[in-house]
Amino acid sequence: MLSCKNINKSYSDGNNKINVLNNINLNILEGETLAIIGASGSGKSTLLHVLSSLDAADSGKIEIDGELISSFDENRLCQIRLNKIGFIYQFHHLINELSVKENISLPLLIANKNKSEIEKKTDEVIDQVGMKKRKDFQIDKLSGGERQRVAIARSIVHNPSILFADEPTGNLDKNNANNIFSLLSDLVSYNKSILIMATHDLEIASKLNEVLKIDGGNLKNI
C-alpha cells in the first residue's frame, strides 16, 4: 500500500516561488493501477519523483506498507528503493556499454544478492520481456521498443511492490506503445504490484483502474 497526505512541493525561480504540488492526497492498494495525466510542466514527473523518494517533498507524509518513509534518512530510503520501488523513465537511462543482461541485473548487484539468485532472476525476467535472443546485445544495438523492454525488466527484476512509470511510451510509435503497455500491464498483474503511471496518452490512461489529473498543482478526478 502507498499513501500520502498533504504533499507540497515548490521550486524557486529567481525571486518567485512556483508551487508544483499542492496538498496532494492519495491512497493506493496492492494491485491497483493509477494514471496521472496533465499538461507538460504540470507536475506529473515531480509527483512520481516525490512519491518514489527520488525527490523530497517540502511538507507532508508518505507511507509505504505502513512505514513513514518521509521521515527516513537517505540510507533507509536507498533500502526502500532497492527492495520496494521500481522506476521506469521515458528516456531509459540504460548503460550503453553494458549488455542487456548486465543492465537488467544491476538492481540485484547493488542489493548484494548472491550470484545464483542474480542469474536465475535476471534470466527469468529476460524471458518475460521477450529479450532472450538479445540478452548479450549492447544497448546501442537495440531499437527504441527493445530498449524500453530492457528498462521495464530492470525496474521489475527485484519484484518491487510499487512501480512508477514516467511516460514509458512517450517516445514510441502507437504500435510499440501499445505493445509496451500490454507487457507492463501483464507484469504488474503477475507481480501484484501497484502501478503509478504519468502519461499524455489518454487511450492508455483509460486502461488503468483510476485516472487523475494534475492541474495548477492540484490532483483532481476527471
Q: Average pLDDT in the 108-124 region?
A: 92
Say how many domains are in the chain. Answer: 1
Quick: pLDDT tens for 182-219: 888 888 888 888 999 999 888 889 999 999 999 988 88
Domain of residue 179: give its range.
2-221
Output the pLDDT for position 89: 84
Residue 190: CATH number of its domain: 3.40.50.300
Q: Which residues contact 93 (CB under 8 A, 6 or more apart)?
A: 151
Question: C-alpha grid cell for residue 49?
Answer: 519523483
Interior angle at CA 172, CA 166 and CA 174, nearest 5 = 115
